[in-house]
Amino acid sequence: MKIVDARVVLTSPGRNFVTLKVETDEGVTGLGDATLNGRELAVVGYLRDHVVPLLVGTDPHRIEDTWQSLYRGAYWRRGPVTMAAIAAVDVALWDIKAKVAGLPLYQLLGGASRERVRTYGHASGRDVPELFDSIRARLAEGYPAIRVQTGVPGLKRMYGVGHDAAPDAARPVVEDWDTAAYLRSLPRVFDAVRQEFGPELVLLHDAHHRLTPIQAARLGKDLEPYDLFWLEDCTPAENQDGLRLVRRHTTTPLAIGEVFNTVFDYQTLVGEQLIDYVRSAVTHFGGVSPLRKLFDFAAQHQIKSAIHGPEDISPVGMAAAIHLDLAIHNFGIQEYAGHTPLTHEVFPHAYTFTDGYLHPGEAPGLGIELDEELASAHPYEPAYLPINRLQDGTIHDW
């Protein structure tokens, strides 16, 4: 079997997605997600100019060998652009291998370790009443766990709250930030949520890398009475040593890793058990092959999976995540923000979301298709993630 072509499809059915379609001489095709929010064209160029020419003529069954040759052959190691491109190849080749086997991908990864995949959804509001409405909406959709984000009094726009969650401009939106106000307000918000919704609802919060280790330590302590499932990205965690300080001061569980792209980013965090959940996406970590290795490393330290699943992971990347979630033993939870109806039309899929739980379905491969005609009717639109500035204009150190 040989790869005869690979094409990059860029589409924007509501937001931008980069998809690699690998074609073989036997007619079997595979899909992989390479979406890097706000930097999509960099990955398109990397794939088209540097990866596709190397793939044509190779055996699609040699997934590990292809992965190693792309990773080591680049000489320039790691980084989100490279790893998103390699991820798309890895996932497309797993799709092909599973289709040839006539099995859903999870069967090739060891088979199901559970019946279904628990998710959490996103609730947010500029103030507490709006937040409560949002939590009620997620509960009505069946979500068994909910990430809670709110506005901070005095701040006009906040990332992850309401409409600001999606990039919406050809230049970055500027948001304002005040760490002291955030640290004062968040425990009060969780107090109100616990009073309204009771002790059993599974609650999470994402700090989006905004704190220093000592600030994160204090927030973790202040949130302990509210029994969070986790506090996410409390610091810019490329300073792995800083997590020792956070860990010494709080028993609030910690989740980190959505911006990480190789196991090297986790050496201290996992090796010293400084976190409880690893958050990397299939799409940004080089694919299913390396992410499975990370989960095996994490399992030795009682750390569980929590694959990143925001709106900017395409349904192709979600499908790959759900197969892994079903197969690995140390599964924790799956983030599931969902997609627009048009996105579901562009990417018809076998996976299902029922009563807050996902299942990859039983179709051979990833169980996902790409409607290229519909995709081409919705071309790329430049969009950026926001930046944060303090009151004096300084870019916030997140």
Give whichever of 213 and 310 is closer to ligand EZ4, judged by the CB atom: 310
When asked if residue 265 is in the footprint of Co ion (CB under 5 A), the reply is no
Which residue minimizes CB distance to Co ion? 206
Query: Applying CB under 5 A, which of residues 40, 90, 206, 325 lies at the interface with Co ion?
Result: 206
**C-alpha angle with apex 220: 214 to 223, nearest 5 degrees?**
140
Instruction: Quote the tokens at residue 235.
Output: 């610091």
Alpha-carbon distance of 339 to 200, in angstroms, equals 28
Q: Would you give the binding string for ligand EZ4 spanning residues 289-308, x where CB under 6 A is met?
A: -------------------x
Select from 194, 206, 227, 202 the least CA-distant residue to 146.
202
* Alpha-carbon distance values, 302 to 202, 331, 345, 358 (Å): 20, 11, 39, 23
Residue 310's binding partner out of Co ion, ligand EZ4, none, with CB under 5 to 8 Å set by partner kind: ligand EZ4
When asked if residue 360 is in the footprint of ligand EZ4 (CB under 6 A), the reply is no
Q: Where are the beta strands (DSSP E) in the chain?
A: 3-11, 17-24, 29-33, 117-125, 145-150, 174-176, 202-206, 230-232, 254-256, 277-278, 304-305, 334-335, 352-354, 357-359, 387-389
Query: Applying CB under 6 A, which of residues 60, 242, 287, 310 lies at the interface with ligand EZ4?
Result: 310
Residue of 122, 208, 323, 339 with catalytic role: 208
**Cβ neighbours of residue 349 closer than 8 Å, sequence gap 6 or more:** 315, 318, 319, 361, 367, 368, 369
Residue 208 among the catalytic residues? yes
Residue 159 among the catalytic residues? yes
21-29, 35-43, 92-100, 205-213 -> range binding Co ion (CB under 5 A) = 205-213
Cβ 59 to ligand EZ4 shortest distance, Å: 34
Handedness of CA 13, 19, 24, 26 (dihedral sign): negative
Q: Yes or no: say if 21 and 96 are a contact pair by the CB < 8 Å rule.
A: no
When asked if residue 37 is in the footprint of ligand EZ4 (CB under 6 A), the reply is yes
Residue of 159, 266, 336, 357 with catalytic role: 159
Burial of 115 (0-12, 13-18, 19+ CB in 10 A): exposed
Query: Applying CB under 6 A, which of residues 312, 332, 333, 336 lies at the interface with ligand EZ4?
Result: 312
Cβ 367 to ligand EZ4 shortest distance, Å: 23
Residue 118's binding partner out of ligand EZ4, Co ion, none, with CB under 5 to 8 Å set by partner kind: none
In the window 208-237, what residues touch Co ion (CB under 5 A)? none
Residue 265's binding partner out of Co ion, ligand EZ4, none, with CB under 5 to 8 Å set by partner kind: none
Residue ranges binding Co ion (CB under 5 A): 206, 258
Q: Which residues bind ligand EZ4 (CB under 6 A)?
A: 37, 160, 206, 208, 258, 308, 310, 312, 335, 385
